[in-house]
Amino acid sequence: MEFKRVVITGMGALTPLGNSVDEYWNGLINGVSGAAPITQFDASKFRTRFACEVKNFEPTDFLDKKEARKIDRYSQLALVASDQAFADAGLNKENINPDRVGVVLGSGIGGLITFQNEVMDFAKGDGTPRFNPFFIPKMILDIAAGQVSIRHNLRGPNYAVTSACASSTNAMIDAINLLRLGKADIIVTGGSEAVISEAGVGGFNAMKAMSERNDEPATASRPYDKDRDGFVMGEAAGILIFEELEHAKARGAKIYCEVVGGGASADAHHITAPHPQGLGAKNVMLAALSDAGMQVTDIDYINTHGTSTPLGDIAETKAILDVFGEHSYKLNISSTKSMTGHCLGAAGVIEAIACIKSVMHDIVPPTINHFTDDPELDPKLNFTFNKAQHRVVNAALSNTFGFGGHNACVIVKKYT
């Protein structure tokens, strides 16, 4: 069977660097940090008191006030990003068959803020069960995909994917395969996450996973730096329009690039720590290259998982060296989490958008906040430290890895 080709025709994003794709991209290439003291709750008693929040977002600017109250923040972000992507792709009821347009989104945690607030309100009461009737439909992981399909009247395949921080990348892989197999004409894909809350920050603090540089939040996310001390929590939503090539051409769509493959693997090692030799990361990159029918020399840029954790950054670079060999030294590597923080289940899609823009504009966004070389990392690797670099980027690979040992990556390349 000959697979159909899949292209990207629309993008939308709300990120800690800006509430549109252009604002996000400009922040990336200019090396802007999205980290700042937390505003969504009083974090004064927490070990970590800063995060990469989506800023200047008022849901009622986009959603009816009554409806907005029925939707958790993670779904609100997804809905607004979906509006942006639909407009960007030029989609409307005249040029699509709604029965052939699906929605596959990812989230690592879903409506944690709603869950936390409902339980806290109950605990403060007299034990009488008084819960918001929208508690469950606000909180569940699949509801963002459902809300997007309702908002845009899309009746094709519709579901959610969860694999911790690899969630939106796994969602994109499913979208690729649905289109390749002719199950739909268009899949709205990506993901969202919004868990900057007492439970979210407190939970990750208890794991000792996050940076505690409260006096210098803008420089706290330091992938590949010797003094990195953990990730910075972020929140975001990114939505992409994946479209079967002939369908896109028939409606005269602009085509940003082609998405040519994806891979998935498991570490089978530990619930939170990466395989020390990067075995799962190695396998997932090999799987993506095989799926795309590409050689290691075809890749120009890798947007790494690069969370700024002591173990994770080392394991991933070991995997890159194992997979790419001598070509590793011709690659540009960067972690945009140095600017956005770690947006958990939404990380994959916003990093895929960074790859798409890199392929479009031949610019590699930097890994900011590099101050001290780590002697455990190969100094010949080009981590694109501190400043964006111009180079031809014909193809880019995006890595995402999640708790539980979940690994996923996608490859995009110039459309010809």
Which is nearest to 411 in space by CA: 400, 392, 394, 397? Answer: 397
Burial 338-361 (b: 16+ CB within 10 A, else e): bbbbbbbbbbbbbbbbbbbbbbbe
Strand partners of residue 389: 364
Q: Are the beta carbons of 264 and 284 closer than 8 angstroms?
A: yes
Query: Could you confirm whether 342 is annotated as catalytic?
Result: yes
SS3 (DSSP) at 341: coil
Sequence-distant (6+) residues with CB within 8 A of 215 are none
Instruction: Kindly name the residue from 152, 275, 342, 406 that is annotated as catalytic.
Output: 342
What backbone phi and psi angles, to 5 degrees, belong to 329? -85, -5
Side-chain-side CA neighbours of residue 22 (13 Å)? 2
Query: Could you confirm whether 165 is annotated as catalytic?
Result: yes
* 372 DSSP 8-state letter: S
The whole-angstrom distance between residue 188's C-alpha and the CA centroid of its chain comes to 15
Alpha helix segments (H runs only) across 266-412: 279-292, 310-324, 337-340, 347-361
**Distance between CA atoms of residues 139 and 194, nearest Å:** 11
**Distance between CA atoms of residues 260 and 165, nearest Å:** 21
Strand partners of residue 334: 303
Instruction: Kindly name the residue from 52, 152, 165, 370 that is annotated as catalytic.
Output: 165
Tokens read off for 295: 């050689």
Neighbours of 140 (CB within 10 A): 18
Instruction: Kindly name the residue from 152, 247, 275, 305 that is annotated as catalytic.
Output: 305
Terminal Cα distance for the chain, rounded: 22
The sheet that has 101-106: what strands, in order across it?
A: 158-161, 101-106, 186-193, 236-244, 6-14, 257-266, 406-413, 395-402, 301-303, 332-334
DSSP letters spanning 163-227: BTBTHHHHHHHHHHHHHHTTS-SEEEEEEEE---SHHHHHHHHHTT-B---TT-GGG---TTBTT
**Distance between CA atoms of residues 275 and 266, nearest Å:** 10
Catalytic residue numbers read 165, 305, 342
